[in-house]
Amino acid sequence: MPSNSAALDEVRHLAARCERCELYRCGTQTVFGAGDVPADVMLVGEQPGDQEDRKGQPFVGPAGRVLDEGLERAGLASRRLYATNAVKHFRWEPRGKRRIHKTPGVEHVRACHAWLVEELRLVEPTVLVLMGATAVGSMSRHHRVMRDRGQLLDLDGQPTVITVHPSSVLRSRERGAAMEAFVGDLEVVAAQLPELTRARR
């Protein structure tokens, strides 16, 4: 049998040709997840942004820099990490020469859900981190970002922490406080990892 990493490469290859919704027509390419397999932490965001769409990698734009800083400050940067999005194509609308982010619809999340489920199965994260409302909605109908953020939750047996999407930190009028809160949520992940890792052995 192929390793999880090889199996994930096969899924990535299939996702590259995905036409389950109309977003494949406007996105430059499918932006699949990337990182360590297996992973200590699997991070799920909303959808690729403009730079991610052009480069074919998740979290390489401004929000990715916020995420990297948050992971570093929380003590997670050295852990095995896998990052992906609930929706694999960039949904956007033109504004002059710029491509402006447009929130994915429920139909786009549903179309991509099978890819996310396969990633979760093969990455086997110790902790799942859902960042933002789209990511939360892709995995649960019963949780909300601001109500449930920063808590260790159990989603069908998968230890999970909810937080905001790092792009919300960039949009915040109180960016410093927003960043501190984001780091605080990630610190919950860092604090729980040792015990959860021992429990899996």
User: How would you write the chain as a 3-class SS string?
Assistant: CCCHHHHHHHHHHHHCCCCCCHHHHCCCCCCCCEECCCCCEEEEECCCCHHHHHHCCCCCCHHHHHHHHHHHHHCCCCCCEEEEECCCCCCEEEECCEEEECCCCHHHHHHHHHHHHHHHHHHCCCEEEEECHHHHHHHCCCCCHHHHCCCEEEECCEEEEEECCHHHHHHCCCHHHHHHHHHHHHHHHHHHHHHHHHHHC
Give tens-digit pLDDT for 21-43. Answer: 999 998 899 999 999 999 999 99
> Where does the pLDDT of residue 199 fall: very low under 50, low under 70, confident under 90, or very high at 90 and above?
confident
Contact 84, 105 (CB under 8 A): no
| pLDDT in the model for residue 1 | 58
Q: pLDDT averaged over the chain?
A: 96
Which domains does the chain carry?
Answer: 4-200 (3.40.470.10)
Give CA–CA dist 195/200, Å, rounded.
9
Q: Both tokens of residue 186?
A: 């990630």
Q: How far apart are CA 24 and CA 18, in angstroms?
A: 7
pLDDT digits (tens, 9 = 90+) for 143-166: 999 999 999 999 999 999 999 999
Give the integer Cα–Cα distance in Å for 172 and 159: 28
> What pLDDT score does 44 carry?
98
Please give the model's pTM, rounded to 2 decimal places: 0.96
pLDDT digits (tens, 9 = 90+) for 57-87: 999 999 999 999 999 999 999 999 999 999 9
